[in-house]
Amino acid sequence: MLGNSDWSGLFQESNLKLVEHYAQEKGSWCALSYCWGSILAYKTMTDNRESHMQGIKFSRLPKTLQDAIFITRYLRQQYIWIDCLCIIQDDKADWQREAAHMANIYSNSYLTISAARANDSSEGFLGDRTIKSTYPASVQDEEGSFQLYFWTFGTYDVNVSPCSAQSNDMDPLMEPLSTRAWTLQERLLPVRTLHFATNQMYWDCADMLQGENGKHLVDVDPDFRVDDIAKSVVPSSTSQRSWYQLIAAFSSRNITYASDYLPALSGTIAAIQERTGEICYAGLWKSHFLEGLLWRLEHPNDVTVWTKKKPRKLEVWRAPSWSFAAVEGNISYYYAGLTDYDTDYCAELEHCSVETVGENPLGELKGGFARIRGPVTAINLVENDGKEQENTAGLDCLLQLREQEFVEAKILFDFERDEHCEALMLTPHTGLAVALVDATKREYVRVGTIHVPEGSDSSLLSASQYPESTSIVLL
């Protein structure tokens, strides 16, 4: 924790230093959410930790950090948590310990300062800005009365917006900070956040998202709060929509180091676990594990997210093939929403295990598998000309049922086409395309997803129509 014994001087050089603190203590510090940028010139390392405990010169800090300390002192708060200073950057063990406490750090902070507008740590976030002024005008016609809201920039052109007083202004979100994977949990976890956006400041808490011009704004999704997401992962929940939306948003953001993918999500998972007691394996909740397997990589032409990513394989192993963390690209749970008309599951999770690298039990992985019992059946690709899929519609195929019968289906490969893959059916209409890697051990890896479109030939499909279930290991 970065602290000062005397916060009366907003720009004082003295009394700024690192202090030991405990993340479980609530309401005694601010936290900073910001973009590092390509290079961060000033940070705590093993060789300067002791000197930082004695004192840190304010003038040597990057502008974004200076601005955050100014706001902290202005609010008469004594401490602020900034990752580049409060984590020893060349000590991986310390980094893993602090990553494990990220949920506590942001959830228990007095205030999170969001440097939304700054592209990097040197840019800063305090400065001149143009605040949109809003002028309501009452209008009445034969259908009733309503209000028009006029947005102006000084004496320039007027834009007319026929909307309610609750606008879906996206300024807090369409900023550089919203492109980074690490900062998603820094938005979800805090009790209250002050966003410094390009045009104005925004106050963000459980009750509201409001601009400094007085407008009360509607967030992107009212369910996009940790408490609501937690409700979606408990066994009694009939819809995991909130969690799947979170994963879609997370996967669209950028991350510098591939190994940081799960650590950057671990704070949110830890907060949900604290509320529910549920177990999470590499981003998949045990309570809804089979449905959690039904993620798919979206083609860039088929998504409307801010950061469109071309699906790609990772150069190094990051997670088991059944986890969305094993790949890079825009993730969606389109198929999970199609299980509503499936009344019976074909498969069951027998056992799952993941092995972490360090002290963060939800962080970086070095191994993992899932043992699943379900019907494994043959896939015949209809398009045998080697045609590659051009979007997320997938390729036509036939799934083998019992008695040498077949049903038409769609297969969506995660990456390249696999002519020899099989189908592990999870429900009568959805499953995974899997490739055998060890026949003796019955070990497979995921290579895609399978979907039987609902129609006249498939609407009556049931688990009993597939081959007898067998136990396989997904790596």
What HEC string does the chain produce? CEECCCCCCCCCCCCCEECCCCCCCCCCCEEEECCCCCCCCCCCCCCCHHHHHHCCCHHHCCHHHHHHHHHHHHCCCCEEECHHHHCCCCCHHHHHHHHHCHHHHHHCCCEEEECCCCCCCCCCCCCCCCCCEEEEEEEEECCEEEEEEEEECCCCCCEEECCCCCECCCCCCCCHHHHECHHHHHHHCCCEEEEECCCCEEEEECCCEEECCCCEECCCCCCCCHHHHHHHHCCCCCCCHHHHHHHHHHHCCECCCHHHCCHHHHHHHHHHHHHHCCCEECCEEHHHHHHHCCCEECCHHHCCCCCCCCCEECCCCCCCCCCHHHEECCEECCHHHHHHHCCCCCCEEEEEEEEECCCCCCCCEEEEEEEEEECEEEEEECCCCCCCCCCCCCEEEEEECHHHCEEEEEEEECCCCCCCCEEEECCCCEEEEEEEEECCCCEEEEEEEEECCCCCCCCCCCHHHCCCCEEEEEC
Q: Which residues contact 389 (CB under 8 A, 6 or more apart)?
A: 299, 395, 412, 413, 417
Give the pLDDT of residue 168. Answer: 43
Q: Which amino acid is at 155?
A: T
Whether 145 and 78 map to the same domain: the answer is no
pLDDT in tens, 328-354: 999 999 877 655 555 578 999 999 999
In a domain? residue 277: no
Tokens 């900070």 correspond to 177
**Residue 389 scores a pLDDT above 70:** no
Instruction: Name residue 409's beta-bridge partners.
Output: 397
Give the pLDDT of residue 355. Answer: 96
Choice between 209 and 268, residue whose per-residue pLDDT is larger: 268
Give the pLDDT of residue 25. Answer: 56
**CA distance linking residue 248 with residue 242, whole number of Å:** 10
Give the pLDDT of residue 386. Answer: 56
Mean local confidence (pLDDT), 401-425: 91
In a domain? residue 224: no
Q: Which residues contact 102 (CB under 8 A, 6 or more apart)?
A: 185, 189, 266, 267, 270
**Residue 154 scores a pLDDT above 80:** no
**Residue 156 scores a pLDDT above 50:** no
Q: Which amino acid is at 54?
A: Q
In a domain? residue 197: yes
165 pLDDT band, cuts 50/70/90, is very low
Give the pLDDT of residue 292. Answer: 94
**Residue 27 scores a pLDDT above 60:** no
In a domain? residue 432: yes
**Cα dihedral value 61, 62, 65, 70, nearest 10:** 70
Give the pLDDT of residue 403. Answer: 78
Give the pLDDT of residue 306. Answer: 64
Dihedral over Cα of 2, 6, 11, 14: its sign: negative
82 pLDDT band, cuts 50/70/90, is very high
In a domain? residue 252: no
Whether 103 and 142 map to the same domain: the answer is no
**CA distance linking residue 290 with residue 282, whole number of Å:** 13
**Residue 11 scores a pLDDT above 60:** no
Mean local confidence (pLDDT), 452-459: 70
Whether 456 and 390 map to the same domain: the answer is yes
**Residue 167 scores a pLDDT above 50:** no
In a domain? residue 299: yes
Whether 26 and 102 map to the same domain: the answer is yes
Mean local confidence (pLDDT), 445-461: 81
Give the pLDDT of residue 134. Answer: 60
Whether 345 and 371 map to the same domain: the answer is yes
Give the pLDDT of residue 234. Answer: 85
**418 CB-side CA count, 13 A:** 23
Whether 59 and 159 map to the same domain: the answer is no
Whether 116 and 138 map to the same domain: the answer is no
In a domain? residue 280: no
Whether 59 and 140 map to the same domain: the answer is no
Whether 370 and 419 map to the same domain: the answer is yes
Whether 51 and 27 map to the same domain: the answer is yes
| Range in 16-20, 425-429, 440-444 with the lowest mean pLDDT | 16-20
Whether 48 and 106 map to the same domain: the answer is yes
Give the pLDDT of residue 443. Answer: 97
Mean local confidence (pLDDT), 13-32: 75
**Residue 153 scores a pLDDT above 80:** no
**Residue 427 scores a pLDDT above 60:** yes
Mean local confidence (pLDDT), 364-382: 95
CA distances in angstroms from 320 to 71, 187, 367, 459, listed in the order given: 43, 28, 7, 32
The domain tally of the chain equals 3
235 pLDDT band, cuts 50/70/90, is confident
Whole-prediction pTM = 0.85
Give the number of other CB atoms < 10 A from CB of residue 15.
16
Share of the chain above pLDDT 70, in %: 81
Whether 81 and 183 map to the same domain: the answer is yes
In a domain? residue 265: no
Give the pLDDT of residue 42. Answer: 85
Give the pLDDT of residue 41. Answer: 74
Mean local confidence (pLDDT), 35-42: 83
What is the extent of the structural domain holding 462?
A: 286-474
**Cα dihedral value 17, 22, 23, 27, nearest 10:** -80
